[in-house]
Structure 1
Amino acid sequence: MVVSRKETPPNINIYINDTKLQQRDQFKYLGALISSDGRDTTEISSRIAQSKTMFRRMKNILTNPHMSIETRKRVLECYFEPILMYVCETWIISKQTRGMLEATEMCFLRRMMRIPWIAKKTNDTVLSETKTKRALINKMRKRQATFFGHIMRRERQEHLVTTGMFMGRRGRGRLLVRKRLTGWRLG
């Protein structure tokens, strides 16, 4: 696989024992989906789909009205957040991905409370009924800040790439996505 900003990545030919390796647009490495365009929207969509599939499997437990909502929220936190937030330290949380993740969080809460979409209840009403607040994005940002601190303490290749202290020039054109460091709440 070639990671490139170009529309069509260049073709490469790699041979091992006279066998040509097939070039891929994306592949899974240690459970994370890596794509040739270098973006993480496919990985985030994949994580959301995996967590929704797991929710459907455990629907009987999570929608059980005889269990307290606190117990169901703890089950959700223990089983679904690790699936959803795996490798979130490397994600760039843009406005689009933030919306996708917040919608997923609200989808889980609505399904746990058995609130249909046609009930016309706002997200704030659902949050007040479950006595909770949105926490997924803040947890991700906290994990990203922890990971960033870990990289900055180790002065290896990751540190060089993060600080931009390597030889060469940046390609022409505008940056794809910028992260604003101001306004991050880690609590």
Structure 2
Amino acid sequence: MRKATEDRPRGIAWGPSGHIEDCDFADDIALISSSQMDLQEKTDRVGRVARCVGLNIHASKSKIMKVKTASSTKTVLCDVELEEANDFKYLDSYISADGNIQKEISTRIGLAANAFYRLQNIWRSNILQMKTKVEIYRSNVRSVLLYAAETWRTNKKIESRLRGFEGRCLRRILNIHWPQPITNVEVSRLTGINNIVDEAKQRRWRWLGHVLRMGADRHPHIALRWTPQGRRRRGRPLGTW
């Protein structure tokens, strides 16, 4: 990446006077540009430099996401048009062009439900104490459900889905079935588990405190007060956490 971007910046304005060209994790790389021309040039250069050191970029596994642009020009890598996607999975989380996390929430609930189902023998056990079952639920199910919750932008619909899923799980652990009447407050008291929406909010606040304590040159700290290039459309903007 240093060789591919050493001649001039092709990324986006970042911080007071810098630019950011890419976001990397292990062998995953996300190229970032503010124009189609810059992105195509950067893609060509990265592909060319990579081949010089024996690396080949897999075109069929590469995706393009365009955020609030009318450009219809395709991005090409090795004579192959890259697929354009409105959302894709990156570092085990779904990222959407419009900032919507409905697909991410559905995926999280599905993975957590699968983890819960695979532990049916634990929930049915008459040997294990309720405290033990609840701790297993926290570590093996709730942790899957709230993965990356620090960055979620939730609303009442999403919060209702989270509460509904966890309520069904906890009632199953308590062996309470319909039509036995029991309130969510009573379920929380019997299991000792706090409201999952409050847990997600606490995680967000802890992450915010962590970011505020970072140095001013760290990317999360810069992103907190970053103003994107371009002009925002008229109307009320989307709320963020």
Verify same fold: TM over 0.5. Answer: yes
Q: Structure 1: state its 5+ residue gaps.
A: 180-187
AA partner of residue 14 (structure 1): T
Taking only the aligned residue pairs, the percentage that are identical comes to: 27
Q: 1:141 aligns with which of 201, 223, 240?
A: 201
Match of 2:94 in 1: 33
Match of 1:150 in 2: 210
**In the alignment, is the contact (CA less than 8 A) between 2:102 and 2:158 conserved in 1?**
yes
AA partner of residue 147 (structure 1): W
Match of 2:65 in 1: 2
Match of 1:172 in 2: 234
> 1:127, CA displacement in angstroms?
2.9
**In the alignment, is the contact (CA less than 8 A) between 1:5 and 1:38 conserved in 2?**
no
Number of positions where the alignment pairs a residue of Structure 1 with one of Structure 2: 176
> 1:160, CA displacement in angstroms?
3.3
Greater relative CO, 1 or 2 (CA 8 Å, sep 6+): 1
Give the structure with the higher percent strand.
2
**In the alignment, is the contact (CA less than 8 A) between 2:188 and 2:195 conserved in 1?**
no
Q: Report the CA distance shift for 1:65/1:134 in structure 2 as closer, same or farther (over 3 A).
A: same
Match of 2:128 in 1: 67
**1:35-184 alignment runs, 5 A limit:** 35-128=96-189, 130-152=190-212, 153-155=214-216, 156-165=218-227, 168-179=230-241
Deviations for 1:70-97, whole angstroms, at most 9, x for unmatched residues?
0000000111122111111110121111
> 1:168, CA displacement in angstroms?
4.4
AA partner of residue 209 (structure 2): G
Q: Report the CA distance shift for 1:81/1:43 in structure 2 as closer, same or farther (over 3 A).
A: same
Match of 1:15 in 2: 76
Q: Report the CA distance shift for 1:25/1:109 in structure 2 as closer, same or farther (over 3 A).
A: same
TM-score by length of structure 1 reads 0.81
Match of 1:185 in 2: none
Deviations for 1:90-149, whole angstroms, at most 9, x for unmatched residues?
101211111111112211110111211322322223333x24242422332222122222
Match of 2:32 in 1: none
> 1:161, CA displacement in angstroms?
3.2
Match of 2:51 in 1: none
**In the alignment, is the contact (CA less than 8 A) between 2:134 and 2:191 conserved in 1?**
no
**In the alignment, is the contact (CA less than 8 A) between 1:62 and 1:72 conserved in 2?**
yes
**In the alignment, is the contact (CA less than 8 A) between 1:63 and 1:113 conserved in 2?**
no
Give me the whole-angstrom Cα distance separating, in 2, the residues matched to 1:167 and 1:17.
Answer: 29
> 1:15, CA displacement in angstroms?
0.7
Give me the whole-angstrom Cα distance separating, in 2, the residues matched to 1:26 and 1:165.
Answer: 22
